[in-house]
């Protein structure tokens, strides 16, 4: 320290790499901070690239950008634990699971694009099986670790943002509590009890209806509330740090498709079939963000604002809506040459603001396959964005069954991505696959 300044450096533990500063520092170099006022600085670390992927990247990686339309290659289904270089895009991909020879029953898949699959230090991966059980896998060795004790079925597991051993979950399809599970000790404790605290006497199910998340720091949560007959009663927001219910809203039987807190915790998004609305945390005001409900997620833009990212089939664009300003940005068109496709979005790369992960599937149209079809890619949240192609997911043909949708999900620093694939089988014979990228492969947005 010298005078009113302090210089910060990092020393990652074995097996980890430093990925950058946030707060009063930025970039990856040593940072000198003026201490004339209180400052907050966060150093982000991630698990180092596995040895098998490091070998693939020995000669470097140049991601393919733009609207590349190279056809998916014909490939035999990889074996469990087999890392390979994507023949088109040069990324390291591994088949993580083999449900036919491991404990998961029926299939082993990445649960959902909006679910964070990786724990806080990227060492463990959450996998869902057809029988409703949740499993842990090692993200470095690809080994099955255990079946989780507690979460079952639609339990909406959410990893703790900083403690790699903890995750939160609700009773199946929601109850009146929020639980915290230690995945090492198998011990569960209640961290939120909503019984007799809500304005609806018949409240029975508190959940997000599968698709929602807490704020990025897990302080603020938003839930919808049903009675025992699944009649919608309302929605509410909750501060876990102070155990305070911050706001409530009656839905009068108009059941949302899903609800979610925004990453900053400033907004709760309530999605109905006839419109998706952003409400302030206390429900005192609202803004329409999309005229219908479509596949979407909520990311952080380059300035740290909440960005609702979705497909708008009515106008034919991928859109990003700034929840603070209401400004809508058209990112790219979705009907090239009269074709169409479905999308999933993952905005969980909070440490790489300004980017979203997309996976596209179920395309159709006389013009055939287009650049945006049948693959996983990173998209910058701006008009005329940079687009980085990461891998073909080999869900082709798509069977039309929900379980074989790719549902690609990204970790916090955009270095690991999970997706589900039937490897061109045309059915729900699916396993989970992981794309691993070198730190910084997805550049900072600008």
DSSP for 99-121 reads GGGSS--S-EE---TTS--B-TT
What pLDDT is attached to residue 364? Answer: 96
Contact assessment for residue 310 and residue 291, using Cβ atoms and an 8 Å cutoff: no
What pLDDT is attached to residue 28? Answer: 83
Does residue 192 sit within a domain?
no
Does residue 327 sit within a domain?
no
What pLDDT is attached to residue 42? Answer: 83
Does residue 335 sit within a domain?
no
Contact assessment for residue 338 and residue 279, using Cβ atoms and an 8 Å cutoff: no
Looking at the structure of the chain, the number of domains it has is 1
Q: Please give the structure tokens belonging to residue 117.
A: 């699959």
Does residue 25 sit within a domain?
yes
Contact assessment for residue 233 and residue 202, using Cβ atoms and an 8 Å cutoff: yes
Does residue 82 sit within a domain?
no
Where the chain has pLDDT below 50, the residues are: 1-2
* Distance (Å, whole) CA 378 – CA 372: 11
Does residue 22 sit within a domain?
yes
114-132 confidence digits (pLDDT tens) = 999 999 999 999 999 999 9
What pLDDT is attached to residue 48? Answer: 67
Does residue 26 sit within a domain?
yes
Q: Taking the mean position of all CA atoms in its chain, how far away is CA 375? A: 17
Does residue 349 sit within a domain?
no
What pLDDT is attached to residue 47? Answer: 65
What domain range includes position 2? Answer: 1-48
What pLDDT is attached to residue 1? Answer: 42
Q: What is the pTM of this model?
A: 0.92
């Amino acid at each position: 320290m010298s005078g009113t300044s302090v210089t910060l450096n990092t020393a990652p533990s074995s097996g980890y790499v430093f990925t950058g500063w946030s707060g009063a520092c930025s970039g990856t170099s040593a940072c000198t901070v003026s201490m004339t006022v209180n400052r907050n600085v966060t150093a982000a670390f991630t698990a180092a690239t596995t040895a098998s992927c490091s070998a693939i990247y020995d000669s470097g990686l140049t991601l393919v950008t733009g609207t590349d339309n190279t056809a998916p290659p014909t490939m035999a289904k990889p074996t469990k634990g087999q890392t390979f270089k994507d023949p088109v895009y040069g990324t390291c991909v591994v088949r993580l699971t083999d449900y036919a020879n491991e404990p998961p029953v029926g299939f082993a898949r990445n649960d959902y694009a909006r679910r964070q699959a990786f724990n806080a230090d990227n060492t463990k991966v959450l996998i869902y099986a057809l029988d409703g059980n949740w499993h842990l896998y090692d993200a470095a060795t690809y080994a099955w670790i255990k079946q989780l004790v507690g979460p079952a079925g639609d339990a909406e597991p959410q990893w703790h943002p900083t403690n790699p051993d903890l995750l939160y979950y609700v009773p199946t399809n929601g109850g009146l509590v929020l639980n915290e599970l230690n995945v090492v000790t198998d011990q569960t404790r209640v961290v939120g009890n909503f019984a007799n605290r809500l304005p609806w006497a018949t409240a029975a199910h508190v959940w997000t209806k599968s698709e929602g998340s807490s704020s990025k720091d897990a302080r603020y949560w938003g839930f919808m509330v049903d009675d025992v007959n699944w009649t919608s009663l309302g929605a509410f927001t909750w501060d876990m740090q102070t155990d305070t219910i911050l706001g409530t809203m009656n839905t009068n039987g108009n059941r949302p498709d899903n609800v979610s807190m925004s990453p900053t915790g400033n907004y709760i998004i309530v999605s109905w079939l006839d419109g998706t609305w952003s409400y302030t945390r206390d429900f005192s005001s609202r803004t329409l963000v999309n005229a219908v409900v479509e596949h979407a997620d909520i990311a952080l833009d380059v300035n740290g604002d909440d960005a609702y990212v979705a497909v708008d089939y009515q106008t034919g664009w991928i859109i990003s809506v700034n929840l603070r300003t209401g400004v809508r940005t058209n990112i790219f068109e979705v009907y090239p040459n009269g074709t169409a496709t479905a999308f999933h979005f993952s905005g969980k790369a909070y440490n790489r603001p300004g980017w979203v992960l997309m996976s596209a599937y179920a395309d159709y149209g006389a013009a055939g396959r287009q650049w945006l079809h049948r693959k996983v890619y990173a998209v910058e949240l701006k008009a005329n964005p940079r687009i980085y192609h990461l891998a073909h997911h080999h869900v082709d043909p798509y069977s039309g069954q929900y379980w074989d949708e790719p549902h690609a999900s990204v970790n916090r620093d955009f270095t690991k991505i999970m997706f589900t694939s039937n490897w061109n089988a045309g059915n729900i014979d699916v396993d989970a696959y992981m794309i691993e990228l070198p730190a910084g492969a997805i550049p900072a947005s600008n």
